[in-house]
Structure 1
Amino acid sequence: MQELTIYRLLLVDDDPGILQLVAQILSPYGYQITLLDQPDKFWETLEETNPDLLILDVELFTTHQAKNIKQVPLSGFDLCQVIRSDLRWNRLPILFLSAHTDVETIQHSFAVGANDFLNKPIVATELQTRVRTRLEQQQIWKFTETEALGW
């Protein structure tokens, strides 16, 4: 009997509405979904959840404590580059979601290491298909690497 794999997804977006929409679209597929709307807690959440796929907004905001609380932009591009340079996380599939649909943004997403890019507003069937495809490709890659090592 084959075991059912429950994939873990980490969704990072500073818009709680987008997080809820993505979770609603993907939850019928049995994924374990973690929503993060506070990018300053990214690394802690990444370690805790150990996701199989990361869905990341291109433009994030983080609140810094100062005299006045203000939101400071944080780039999903920057996070992606750091992830790609980290030996533990560099093969984590990353799918960008963005309202920025210009060619430069899309090309830059792939240049910093994204595996996929989807436009906002989100098309449910496209998101479902892309997530499933990325997870299946990751499983094939893991299986192939394990076989090559003779495990």
Structure 2
Amino acid sequence: MSDSGIQTTGLYLCGFLTAILTLLKFLGTIDWSWWRMGLPLGVYVGFQVAYIVTGFIYLSQAGIEEQPPEEETELLTGHNNISYYWLAWVNFILFGVGVSEWAQPSGIGHGFWQAFGNPAVMIAFAALAEVNLFLFWSSIGQLLNG
């Protein structure tokens, strides 16, 4: 975590993974589509946008009591350990896999990966990710209200 309190480890990790996949594609080691090359970074950025938008919508509508910043920081220490946060990540990753499969089908896995490219499956994973994010933010609201 930097001095500003912003965690950048995930961005660097996903950016590094995207760079490695791109390098492997240029070297001819893997023959994946460009959609799959950008998947780690795209999923990370997409999840962060959904996380911020959901949090903004929830916190703007929830009646959270005003507290001193020190108390809020103490209350929210380790808030990423809430299981809804990680379930939202898993569902969003599966949504990203579906988008890449829909954009350019891989033709491998005997139909397993093609099922992720079905629009109904993609919508289901996106909806599950959003529901889990909402439940995560409601857990944060409960922590803040005591």
Normalising by structure 2, report the TM-score.
0.31
Normalising by structure 1, report the TM-score.
0.30
Higher percent of residues as helix: 2
Task: State the structure with bigger RCO (CA 8 A, min sep 6), 1 or 2.
Answer: 2
